[in-house]
Amino acid sequence: MFYAIPVLLCISMHSSCSLRHRSPENLVQFVENPENGLRKAVTVVPCVFTFQYKPAAYILDMEQHPGGVAEKSRRQALDSMVWFNVTIQISGHNGSPLQYAAGNMAEYQARLNYYLNDAGRDFSLICGNDSLPASAYWFEDHQGLAPVATMIAGFRLRQAATIQYDLQIAYYDRVFRSGIIKTRIKVKDILNIPGAHQ
């Protein structure tokens, strides 16, 4: 009778650990699945803007951190931050959005310069009563080899490391003159991420 208890404890501990430690592929698939509310597409012809919310656990999995001190340090750097990938794709166009309808090389270069240096100022995030500018920004230059342009925007939360309100992200599109593009990530969907708190 006494040795049955340790066996049951081991089984229950193994089950709870396997629920807590999801494989990276499963977490990535969950976060990137539009049905889970963390990936939203907004179409303003001819552009399709896709907003991908990125919780800390997703970022760590994508960066393939093996654990230990490096992962702990990286997790602390991500604490109190909210991250998004924002991609732009032109419907029916297989080339880079930067090249689409660009009249000449100077116009292409002006677009590239904007995305590299100025687009970060055109992002904002509303979280509860806070309206936040982007505190970090990066543009992934695909050198014209991909049919998307990807901007990465990070926002530092003022109140707490855990998200307690819906997140409304807005981007003012100056290049294609689509106006202010907005979408909302609901806090219930963020809290529904298995094994991730933010």
User: 43 with 113: CB under 8 angstroms?
Assistant: no
| CATH code, residues 22-191 | 2.60.40.3340
Ranking 15-24, 32-41, 184-193 by mean pLDDT, the lowest is: 15-24
How many residues can be counted in the chain?
Answer: 198
Cα–chain center distance at 87: 10
**168 or 77: which leads in pLDDT:** 168
**DSSP summary character for residue 97:** T
Look at the block and give the residue holding tokens 């920004």: 137
Question: Which residues are registered as beta bridge partners of 182?
Answer: 170
Q: What's the CA angle centered on 53, arms 135 and 59, to 5 degrees?
A: 80
Q: Assess whether pLDDT exceeds 50 at residue 194.
A: yes
**What is the tens place of the pLDDT at every residue in 64-116?**
766 666 666 676 667 789 999 999 999 999 999 999 999 999 999 999 999 99
CA distance 31 to 142: 23
**DSSP summary character for residue 41:** E
Count each helix (H run) and each strand (E run) in the chain, helices first: 6, 9
In the chain, where are the structural domains located? Answer: 22-191
Percentage of residues in the chain with pLDDT exceeding 70?
78
Model confidence at 13, pLDDT cuts 50, 70, 90, reads very low
What's the one-letter identity of residue 195? Answer: G
CA distance 104 to 168: 36
Region of residue 69 (left: phi > 0; alpha: psi -120 to 50; beta: else): alpha
User: 88 with 49: CB under 8 angstroms?
Assistant: yes
User: 51 with 169: CB under 8 angstroms?
Assistant: yes
Q: What's the CA angle centered on 39, arms 143 and 57, to 5 degrees?
A: 90
